[in-house]
Amino acid sequence: MSRSVDTLVVFHDHGHGFLRKCLRWGFRHVFVAVLNNGYWIVLDGQAGVPVLEVVAGADFDLAGYYRREHGFTVLGVTAPRDRPAWPLMFGTCVGAVKRVLGLRAPWVLTPYGLYRCLKNEYYNL
């Protein structure tokens, strides 16, 4: 039996890092939205500064909004948050998302690498 999706991982092309031009088009930045206490809460490491904000109520189709209005790639996941994350992670957008998900994937360093990992292991939406 599959758990319901309570986390959205959102990929897009508006990265800010100095390696931005080396990253795959459409996968230059990633952020995460978590459903908690009836609200979607977004953690986005914009230009190295983490921004945490409540963006919508639980009844809002946030995945659809990001796909339709912005053209972002969105994965709904149910990642194994009950285990500790890998102890060493880079302070990047990918590292922040892996930390929130509790994802042990030390070889995943880019947004596209994270997309491939999640698509193969945890994708539900």
Is 2 inside a domain boundary?
no
Tens digit of each residue's pLDDT (9 = 90 or more) over 11-48: 988 766 556 666 666 688 889 999 999 999 999 987 67
3-state secondary structure of 95: helix
Tens digit of each residue's pLDDT (9 = 90 or more) over 60-110: 999 999 999 999 999 998 766 666 655 556 678 888 888 888 887 788 888
What is the span of the domain harbouring residue 70? 7-121
SS (H, E, C) 4-33: CCCEEEEEECCCCCCCHHHCCCCCCEEEEE
For residue 34, which amino acid is it? V
Q: Do 89 and 3 meet the contact criterion of CB atoms below 8 Å apart?
A: no
Is 1 inside a domain boundary?
no
Number of structural domains in the chain? 1
The β-bridge partners of 44 are 51
- Supply the pTM of this predicted model: 0.84
| CA dist., res. 95 & res. 40, Å (int) | 20
Residues in the chain: 125
Is 104 inside a domain boundary?
yes
| CA dist., res. 39 & res. 35, Å (int) | 6
| CA dist., res. 59 & res. 47, Å (int) | 30
